[in-house]
Amino acid sequence: KKAEYPRFKSKKTHRYSYTTKYTNGNIELYENKVKLPKIGLVKIKKTRAPKGRLLSATVSQVPSGKYYVSLCYTDVEEVLFPLTYNETGINLGIKDFIILSNGEKVENPKYLKNSIEKLKKLQKQQSRKTKGSRNWIKNRIKIARLHEKIANQRMDFINKLSTRIIREYDIICIEDLKVENMLKNHNLAQSISDVSWSKFTTQLEYKAKWYGKVIKKVDTFYASSQTCHCCGYKNEGTKDLKVREWTCPKCHSNHDRDVNASINILMQGILAN
């Protein structure tokens, strides 16, 4: 009651944060409260706490107005996932989020698509409103809230997916996609899927370290979607992204574009070392 919400000063941005280091019990996490320096006890939504040594707390306010506190721990207890003796190659899809070398296709969740459609509508409305007007401000907050919701939905999706992949496979081969290349292809849905892909690979990498699994990155120069995984023939005709299925002119194997690419990524990753 004594302390107020932190006030942030910059007017240029709607994203604010500050970090304090842990010393002598100035930060403490309880069941549904957190103790912060100068502020004292603050109610929080219940969360899981890792077993480790607390280093610092970062308090931030996101554009929609909500406050978050994130606690940074070190020396966190290691838990290894049991070995499954399975390996996989993963390809970033256009229609699907990812395609695995065993043929499994993981679609982008429907709720994510719906939210993106809504966002498009709001952004169109925003451009028609007078800058700085009351409706313009109202709409800006709506957009900020929806951005936040999409980010949360996306994080939830890739968090669950990356944990499942790490649990099911011991060796995971992925494409080493360069973000600069991705930004050239710019539409809303695509850019969100690009961001998701880099977050997904980051999560795979740190979870592999945590749980004792292996990630192998395959160079993008390797033409995974053009090469027949059966005989190695390079089919230039599949450069066109519209080609979803093709038959190898040399060995006559029939390929699903994405699954063939995933199998190539797996083989390339395993052969690399």
Q: Which residues bind Zn ion (CB under 5 A)?
A: 228, 230-231, 233, 248, 250-251
Q: Which residues pair with 214 in a beta bridge?
A: 171
**Residue whose CB is less far from Zn ion, 216 or 257:** 257
**Residue whose CB is less far from Zn ion, 52 or 232:** 232
**Residue whose CB is less far from Zn ion, 40 or 232:** 232
CB of 16 to Zn ion, least distance (A): 56
CB of 234 to Zn ion, least distance (A): 10
**Residue whose CB is less far from Zn ion, 179 or 231:** 231
CB of 89 to Zn ion, least distance (A): 17
The full length of the chain comes to 273
How is residue 179 written in tokens?
A: 């973000």
CB of 8 to Zn ion, least distance (A): 60
**Residue whose CB is less far from Zn ion, 200 or 246:** 246
**Residue whose CB is less far from Zn ion, 155 or 251:** 251
CB of 271 to Zn ion, least distance (A): 18
Judging by beta carbons within 10 Å of its beta carbon (0-12, 13-18, 19+), is residue 79 exposed, middle or buried? exposed
CB of 245 to Zn ion, least distance (A): 14
**Residue whose CB is less far from Zn ion, 154 or 229:** 229
How open is the CA angle 120-122-123, to the nearest 5 degrees? 65
CB of 227 to Zn ion, least distance (A): 9
